[in-house]
Chains A and B, each alone.
Chain A
C-alpha cells in the first residue's frame, strides 16, 4: 500500500536553515502537504504543493518536489525557537477519496 517516510529528528541552531525530508511511494499522488504539530495541539496546515509543480515558496518556507524520486522537502529559512514542533508530510491522490497518508513526523528542535 501507500507509504510515506520521514526521518524522526532534526536539531538546528536558531537562525540556521532547516531541511526536513520526506519520501513517498504512491506515484499517483496529486497533492503533498506539510503539517505542523506543536505539543498538545492539533495539526496545522503549513503549505502544500500540487504534483505538477517542483517548487513552492511561501515566506520562510520553501517546498521542493522531485516527482521522479518521489522526494519532498520542506526548507525553513532563519529557523526560530518557535518553529520547534513535529512536522508531518502527507500525500493524497484522486483515487483515495480525499484521505491523507501521513509520515511518522519529524521532530524539529531549535537550539538558541
Chain B
C-alpha cells in the first residue's frame, strides 16, 4: 500500500541551527501539507502546497519556515533558525485532490536544545 515517508524519524539540533525535514508523498498525489504537534497539544496546520506554490499557510508559518519540492518526489520543510519552541512532531501529508482524504507520514520528532 502506498504511504507517505518522512526522514529522519528523530532529529536533535542546537538552537539557531537550520534543519530540513524531508518527506516523500504518495506518488500520484498533488497536494502536500505540513503539520506539527507540540507535545500534549493539538495537531496544527502549517502549510499546504500545490502546483509548486504555497496555497495556504497558518500564522505559525512565518519567515523562518519555507517549503520546497526540489524534484518530482521530495517535499521538504526548512526551519531557518530553530528556537526551543520549534520542538515538536512534524507530520507531512499528501492528498490526491483538494477535498480527498489526506494520508500522513509517521512524523519527524524535532528536538531543539
Contacts and interface: CB of A to CB of B under 8 A. Distances in A.
A43 B93 CA distance: 9
A99 interface: yes
B107 interface: yes
The main secondary structure of chain B at its interface with chain A is: strand
B99 interface: yes
Interface string A42-69: 1111001000000000000000000000
A98 B101 contact: no
How many interface residues does chain A have, given as a range? 20 to 34
Interface residues of B, number: 26
Interface in A1-44: 30-31, 33, 35, 41-44
Given A88-B43, A94-B99, A105-B42, A99 B104 contact: no
B25 to A, nearest CB: 13
B42 A97 contact: no
A44 B106 CA distance: 9
B101 A41 contact: no
Contact of B104 (A31, A45, A103): A45
20 contacts: A31-B101, A42-B6, A42-B91, A42-B106, A43-B43, A45-B103, A92-B99, A96-B56, A97-B55, A97-B56, A98-B48, A98-B99, A99-B45, A99-B58, A100-B33, A102-B42, A102-B43, A103-B42, A104-B41, A105-B43
Given A30-B99, A98-B102, 10 more contacts: A31-B101, A35-B104, A42-B105, A42-B106, A43-B43, A97-B56, A98-B31, A100-B33, A102-B43, A103-B42
Interface of B: 6, 31, 33, 35, 41-45, 48, 50, 55-56, 58, 91, 93, 95, 98-99, 101-107
